[in-house]
């Protein structure tokens, strides 16, 4: 019985050693994570990822496109999905086909313009079946249709000092959470002019459902899903993004996620 007792003790000792070691590492790292300087140091890897990926990637490299047979039967929606985080009357407007909705395009452009849904549908459209990779880890494949962002930027004409394209959204989740700016996101001109960067008004052949950002959402196929802003209301061309929201360049970036979400 003694031998057995020793064995149990040894097993317990091993288990305790492993869990204590992990807990010390985890707790120690919590202290580091709480330090803004250290976090900024670690987050330097984001800049490295962006520079290396941009250097390695041919700028026009396309994300893989799939066949209709590959479309996921159950495409998960994430973030704001219903009336709860949307302005009053938004879902009713969706039911009527967004007749009063329009997309304002302004900022560092030569000819600011406003597009109704009919205007956007009249533009040349691109249809692409692509994989949507969520930062959480899952992927879904869907078909998206809409004009290339480049078409719209060419219509309004960029001024020479333009550097980023900011997407303002109807989604008010961040306003409810911390009273900040409504949901926004931004990309640079490399992604803005990428052929697969489109403003999608259709998903899987039907008008974009509210859960996926009706009536218009951004698709930036070489980045993670959280960059693909939903419920678009305004596109603003800017030179810098640090005066918008909390200055991170997007609601998720303000929340600690990478602005460049290529990995």
Residue 102 phi, psi (nearest 5): -150, 160
Pairing label, strands 217-219, 164-169: unpaired
Contact 56, 176 (CB under 8 A): no
CB of 102 to another protein, least distance (A): 31
How many residues contact another protein, by CB under 8 A? 50
Choose, by CB under 8 A, the member of 10, 47, 89, 138 that binds another protein.
138
Calculate ∠ Cα 227-145-63, nearest 5°.
55
Contact 166, 149 (CB under 8 A): no
Q: State which residue, 8 or 29, has the beta carbon closest to another protein.
A: 29
Strand partners, 105: 113, 235
Choose, by CB under 8 A, the member of 7, 9, 10, 29 that binds another protein.
29
Choose, by CB under 8 A, the member of 82, 139, 195, 247 that binds another protein.
139
CB of 261 to another protein, least distance (A): 8
Own/partner long-range contacts of 81-87 (Cβ < 8 Å, ≥24 apart)? 81/210, 81/211, 82/210, 82/211, 85/171, 85/172, 85/173, 85/176, 86/170, 86/171, 86/172, 86/210, 86/231, 87/170, 87/172
> What is the per-residue binding string for another protein in 196-235, x denoting contact by CB under 8 A?
-------------------------xxxx-----------
Q: Quote the tokens at residue 236.
A: 């603003």
The reply on whether position 42 binds another protein by CB under 8 A is yes
Choose, by CB under 8 A, the member of 27, 36, 124, 160 that binds another protein.
27
The reply on whether position 99 binds another protein by CB under 8 A is no
Residue 165 phi, psi (nearest 5): -115, 120
Which segments of the chain does DSSP mark as H helices, in order? 2-34, 36-56, 90-95, 117-122, 149-156, 173-178, 189-192, 251-254
CB of 251 to another protein, least distance (A): 12
Calculate ∠ Cα 219-91-182, nearest 5°.
60
Among positions 44-83, residues that touch another protein (CB under 8 A) are: 44-46, 48-49, 53, 56-58, 61-64, 66, 70, 72, 74, 76
Choose, by CB under 8 A, the member of 6, 43, 99, 190 that binds another protein.
43
The reply on whether position 257 binds another protein by CB under 8 A is yes
Q: State which residue, 60 or 112, has the beta carbon closest to another protein.
A: 60
Binding site for another protein (CB under 8 A): 19, 22-23, 25-27, 29-30, 33, 39, 42-46, 48-49, 53, 56-58, 61-64, 66, 70, 72, 74, 76, 131, 133-141, 221-224, 255-258, 262-263
């Amino acid at each position: 019985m003694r031998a057995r007792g020793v064995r149990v003790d040894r097993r317990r000792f091993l288990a305790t050693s492993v869990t204590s070691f992990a807990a010390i590492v985890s707790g120690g790292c919590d202290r580091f994570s709480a330090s803004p300087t250290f976090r900024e140091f670690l987050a330097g890897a984001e800049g490295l990822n962006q520079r290396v990926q941009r250097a390695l990637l041919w700028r026009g490299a396309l994300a893989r496109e799939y066949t209709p047979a590959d479309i996921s039967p159950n495409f998960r929606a994430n973030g704001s999905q219903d009336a709860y985080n949307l302005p009053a009357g938004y879902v009713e407007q969706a039911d009527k086909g967004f007749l009063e909705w329009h997309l304002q395009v302004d900022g560092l452009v030569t000819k600011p313009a406003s597009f109704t849904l009919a205007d956007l549908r009249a533009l040349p459209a691109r249809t692409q079946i692509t994989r949507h990779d969520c930062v959480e880890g899952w992927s879904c494949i869907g078909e998206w249709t809409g004009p290339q962002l480049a078409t719209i930027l060419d219509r309004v004409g960029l001024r020479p000092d333009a550097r980023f394209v900011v997407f303002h959204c109807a989604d008010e989740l961040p306003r409810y959470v911390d009273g900040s700016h409504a949901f926004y996101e931004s990309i640079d001109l490399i992604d803005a002019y990428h052929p697969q960067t489109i403003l999608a008004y259709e998903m899987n052949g039907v008008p974009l459902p509210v859960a996926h950002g009706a009536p218009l959402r951004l698709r930036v196929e070489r980045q993670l899903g959280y960059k693909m802003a939903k419920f678009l209301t305004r596109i603003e061309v800017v030179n810098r993004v640090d005066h918008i929201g909390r200055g991170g360049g997007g609601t998720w970036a303000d929340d600690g996620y990478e602005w460049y979400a290529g990995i």
